[in-house]
A and B are shown apart, each in its own frame.
Chain A
């Protein structure tokens, strides 16, 4: 299953709903282009919803890290929402779980942005 990305606005926060696989190739490119486009348009509060992402490889993890740093370098914030167990486990073993601000509840996540 290839990846899909939809964006929506909630209280000034841009939520990116991802579904499918974030892997080398199409999935990583869609994530990169989506975040680059949002940052380019001045969106500085970005919440990546990974609730429907059932698979991510090292390339996908790299794209999440790259998205995180590029948003932060523009003075913005990027948080993650609803990790599946597989993605959660991968972020744990790569020590990235503590780098990202990870939320389970969308409303609470939106409120957590400054």
Chain B
């Protein structure tokens, strides 16, 4: 799996969200993560895709979402890029604050940050790039690597 990289160009639809989630589940499982970690990774990808499709591209059929899975020796890195109006990370409200606790929305990025080891949100000239990283801790992949050394 070392150096494995797969990229997709997706329509701004709910079907793309579901498809990306399913792909993330398969990719994370193949990367050696356990069942709970696979669920967290696939949910983080789902939330990032919802953000890109709904809040970024606003379901605009002319705009695409670019999804990249990359398996490095120690991590799984997933990059989701939209072509929307851009997201300012400093303006993301804390959903745990008492005044926000009963709001209907605003938990997606919080969940992504809770489930991944590192989350980088980068505003682009047209759109937003979200890079999600999950480190492999004692996975079967690492064990295979150790065994081969």
Contacts and interface: CB of A to CB of B under 8 A. Distances in A.
Contact of A25 (B14, B107, B108): B14
A66 B104 contact: yes
B114 A63 contact: no
B47 A57 contact: yes
Interface residues of A, number: 20
A95 B94 CA distance: 12
A69 interface: yes
Contacts of B102: 65, 68-69, 99
A93 B47 contact: no
A99 B47 contact: no
A62 B105 contact: yes
Contact of B96 (A23, A86, A94): A94
A74 interface: no
Interface of A: 23-25, 57-59, 61-63, 65-66, 68-69, 86, 90, 93-96, 99
Interface of B: 14, 17, 39, 43, 46-47, 50, 54, 95-96, 101-105, 107-108, 110-111, 114
